[in-house]
Amino acid sequence: MTDNILEGVRVLEIGGGVPAAYATRWMAGFGAEVVRIEGPGDALTADEATCLLPGKLRINADDSQLRELAMRADILVEDTKPGTLAAHGLDIASLRAANPALVAVSITPFGQDGPAAAYEATNAVAFAMGGIMSLTGHPSRAPLINAGSQAYYLSGLNGFSAAVTAYYGALQQGEGDHIDISMQECQAGMLELYGPMAEYTGEGPHKRSGNHVRAVWGIYPCADGYAGVCCLERQVKAFFNLVGDPVLQEERFQDRAQRAEHDDELQAILYPWFLSHTKGELLELGAQHRVPIGAVLTPSDLLQNESLHERHFFDSAETAAGTAEFPGRPFLGLPWRPGPLDEAGASTGDVLSRWVEVSA
């Protein structure tokens, strides 16, 4: 017996890409039986597969088997193009009618309907259409794609949280739902103040500002890499005291409105200050003086990070290339089950016999 909270919950992952695979990754970790129908061979890179597939059962299934499995699933997560499932006899509305408790999550670049629903998209295209890209990058250069595949991951994260929320609703009320997650919409609703500002003030689109929203809100080169500071107004005083240059006590830097007009001058003071410290020193100073300071850490840095190890953050899995480490449980407080990496198709017989036979 185990107290994994999704023990016995049957999840079907269809489509094979990062969005569906990430949405179900945490379900597997919290104990659900996640069955992954293999998508196209290139749907995931080997590294993506290593961090997204642990603990899942990987199978091959034809259309009629897939329908049988979907009839017995509690949660279905798919990231195929709109219309694809229906073409394979897996129309979500009819699945929902036949299995009313089913929670079905469809994750696509632009959602299930509307003029762009059939558009071809990659992470880059979906990221462009979400609004965040217009704000990212240097003002004198092209808008920039941020780390990795964030349009994909963000939609997968929303897919996970929406799915477990709907699943709770299904437990309470006996009825699931079909959740239509659009990568574009996941981003368009989180444009910080910039989205509502443009709409409310009518002052035109917000311009991207590179690594410096303001001098006290940005990233600077430091002695051994890059570090950043993010001060709200109430933290500016402590930051200036920490930097220590007496000129910062003058009216033009102390006064919020005047400071904005002397932002270049302020940056010119902060560049050498950051350059004279290492990331480690800056993090320590920030913590000591209650100034929000961060350092640009790499994944290799983080694999060595003391706090993360103390909190047992990383999972590991055996691969042909050795032992891989990657982010594990997303939070503490509920039991987490790191799982092994299954070979493609390895669980086909097992799953088909158990799922289809048990319910037959």
Partner 1 sequence: MKKLPLEGVRIADLTMMWAGPYATRLLAEMGAEVIKIESPNAWDNIRTLVPQPEATEPWNSSFYFNDYNRDKKSLTLDLAQERGRDVFLDLVKHCDIVIENYRADVLQKLNIDYPVLREAKDNIILVSMAGFGKTGKERTQVGFGPIIEQMAGLASLAGYGDDGEPYKTGISYGDPVGGVAAAGAVSLALINRRRTGEGCHIDLAQRETMAAMIGEAFVAASLRGEAPTHYGNRHPRFAPQGAYRCAGDDQWIVVSVRNDHEWRQLASVIGANEELASLGFDERQARHDELDATIEAWTIEQDAQPAMERLQDAGVPAGRVLDTVAIHDDPHLTARGYWVRLPHPKMTPWRQPASSWRMVEANPHLRRHAPLFGEHNEEILCGLLGLRSDDLRQLESQGIIADAPINPTVG
Helix (H, G, I), strand (E, B) or coil at 234: helix
**Segment lying near partner 1 (by CB under 8 A), choices 258-266, 267-275, 297-305, 347-355:** 297-305
**Segment lying near partner 1 (by CB under 8 A), choices 75-83, 177-185, 242-250, 263-271:** 177-185
Name residues contacting partner 1, limited to 255-294 (CB under 8 A).
283, 286-287, 290-294
Residues 176, 184: Cα–Cα separation, whole Å = 24
Task: Say whether residue 111 binds partner 1 (CB under 8 A).
Answer: yes
Name residues contacting partner 1, limited to 320-349 (CB under 8 A).
321-327, 330-334
Q: Which whole-number Å values give the CA distances from 313 to 3, 128, 237, 336, in the listed order?
A: 20, 32, 35, 11
Shortest gap between Cβ of 205 and partner 1 (angstroms)?
A: 4
Shortest gap between Cβ of 33 and partner 1 (angstroms)?
A: 15
For 18, the token pair is: 């990062």
Q: In this structure, what DSSP letter does residue 167 have?
A: H
**125: nearest Cα among 54, 59, 60, 184:** 184
Name residues contacting partner 1, limited to 196-225 (CB under 8 A).
196-200, 204-211, 217-219, 221
CB 91 within 8 A of CB 154: no
**Segment lying near partner 1 (by CB under 8 A), choices 67-75, 227-235, 264-272, 347-355:** 227-235
Task: Say whether residue 41 binds partner 1 (CB under 8 A).
Answer: no
Task: Say whether residue 311 binds partner 1 (CB under 8 A).
Answer: yes
**Segment lying near partner 1 (by CB under 8 A), choices 176-184, 242-250, 266-274, 352-360:** 176-184
For 42, the token pair is: 């290139």
For residues 251-269, one letter each, b for 16 or more C-beta atoms within 10 angstroms of the residue's C-beta and e for the rest, the string is eebeeeeebeebbeebeeb
**76: nearest Cα among 187, 54, 61:** 61
Shortest gap between Cβ of 149 and partner 1 (angstroms)?
A: 8
Name residues contacting partner 1, limited to 131-150 (CB under 8 A).
131-138, 141-148, 150
Residues 199, 214: Cα–Cα separation, whole Å = 22
Over its C-alpha atoms, the chain yields an Rg (Å, rounded) of 24
Q: Which contiguous run of DSSP H or E holds residue 227?
A: strand 225-230
**Closer by beta carbon to partner 1, 16 or else 286:** 286
**Closer by beta carbon to partner 1, 248 or else 282:** 282
Task: Say whether residue 101 binds partner 1 (CB under 8 A).
Answer: no
